[in-house]
Structure 1
Amino acid sequence: MPFETPLAGGVVLRELTKDDAVAVAHAYIRNREHLAPWDPARPDEFWTEQWHKDRLWVQVLANTNGSALHTVLEAPDGEIVGRLNLTDIVRGAFENGHVGYWIDARYTGRGLMSAALEALVAHARDELGLHRLQAATLPHNAASQAVLRRVGFEKIGYAPSYLKIAGEWQDHIVFQRILHG
């Protein structure tokens, strides 16, 4: 059964489907300036419906084979207003996954991402059997760090030149949450 959790204001956190390509494209286009400081540089084609139609199936396949859990935050009108992804799931001795997320500029400050992340943490622990989740934020991304801390993540390190964000290799603060103590 696909992952789905109701959040406040009629917003639903649910597993990404192949039918979400156009709505996801519109969400990224609508939030282009809002996300620019926090995202990798994107090719011009990224900002088109066709780019997402051509590539979204890879994320859906990753959901199917258990290597990731790509989700969307969907408003009551069907508009996508955020993404929350659990990627790079490693089984065996590690039982770990990486968390990444963003929320529509119009929905910030409502506690939606904190609630969504808490739901994903519970699913990762109880349904996926993961032991640990990891996330990284830019040092000046106080809002993202606040979300992680509210949901029980703790800072575990500082990673110089960790990810290429906004066209530059940038340092990140690394957080983790242990799910089974």
Structure 2
Amino acid sequence: MTTRVPGQAWPNVLTSGSDPVVTVRPIQASDGAAWRAARQRNLAWLTPWDATVPPGGDARPTSFRSLARRLRAAARRGTNLPFVIEVDGVFAGQVSVNNIVRGSAQFASVGYWIDQRFAGRGVMPRAVAMVIDHCFTTVGLHRVEVCIRPENTNSLRVVEKLGIREIGYAPRFLHIDGEWRDHRIFAITKEEVPLGLLARWQSSGGDVSAVE
């Protein structure tokens, strides 16, 4: 079991809230059964937004165990932070920090999905805010992007609630659900949330967009 280690970028566990308790922790091979059950249960809910491999692209892992192994290896290299989300100790989805760039950029992107039965309870905004705060503090990043298909209203609502600004539009940006899809681009920098994104979201009553 991964423990909370102050000042450690990876592996680590992040926790917030009391009703429900939202925990963000590293993905593990033992998550396989819960992950497969959630993905199967939410097949129609998630498939339109799932990344796919374009013709000629590298093959994706064929099992959860190989997927978890690949993600954890990337975490050890410092290029990705693959977290899962738990709600009151129950597997609820994933939030991942991808494509970490160091040097002059200190940048990464964040992606996420949630089991539909946990949607609408503020779980995903809380989890994303915790992870971005972790990126800005312990990981030492300066800027985080979130790229979302224009049709994905549920994911768009997450960045709206957190007050993450839209900065651009990328035509045919990622291969999603079998085609190259356009994406709206949102970004936030460390200077925008000096007290932390989670604290800003909480102080807004759970919807920064409603008070801006």
1:24 has 2:44 as partner: no
In the alignment, which of 13, 35, 39 is matched to residue 24 of structure 2? 13
List structure 1 segments (4+ residues) > 6 angstroms apart after TM superposition: none
Report Cα offsets for 1:51-109 as digits up to 9, x if no partner.
10122111112222221111111233x54211000010000100000100011111111
The residue aligned with 2:158 is 147
The residue aligned with 1:53 is 65
How far the C-alpha of 1:28 sits from its partner, in A, is: 1.6
Listed as ranges, the gaps of 5+ residues in structure 1 are: none
**Cα distance between partner residues in 1 of 2:43 and 2:52:** 11
Question: Residue 3 and residue 11 in structure 1: after superposition, are their counterparts in 2 closer, same or farther (change >3 A)?
Answer: closer
The AA in structure 1 aligned to 2:78 is G
How far the C-alpha of 1:135 sits from its partner, in A, is: 1.0
Alignment of 1:65-144 (within 5 A): 65-76=77-88, 78-144=89-155
The AA in structure 1 aligned to 2:120 is G
Report Cα offsets for 1:35-57 as digits up to 9, x if no partner.
01111348xxx8xxx71012211
Task: Number of aligned residue pairs: give it.
Answer: 175
Are 2:80 and 2:98, in contact at CA under 8 Å, matched by a contact in 1? yes
Q: Give identity over the alignment, percent.
A: 33
Aligned-residue CA RMSD (Å): 2.1
Normalising by structure 1, what TM-score? Answer: 0.87
Normalising by structure 2, what TM-score? Answer: 0.75
**Cα distance between partner residues in 1 of 2:75 and 2:32:** 15
Q: Which structure has the larger Rg?
A: 2
Are 2:97 and 2:108, in contact at CA under 8 Å, matched by a contact in 1? yes
Listed as ranges, the gaps of 5+ residues in structure 2 are: 6-11, 54-59, 193-212
**Cα distance between partner residues in 2 of 1:5 and 1:65:** 24
1:171 has 2:170 as partner: no
The AA in structure 2 aligned to 1:116 is A
Are 1:3 and 1:14, in contact at CA under 8 Å, matched by a contact in 2? yes
**Cα distance between partner residues in 2 of 1:59 and 1:100:** 14
**Cα distance between partner residues in 2 of 1:179 and 1:13:** 20
The AA in structure 2 aligned to 1:97 is A
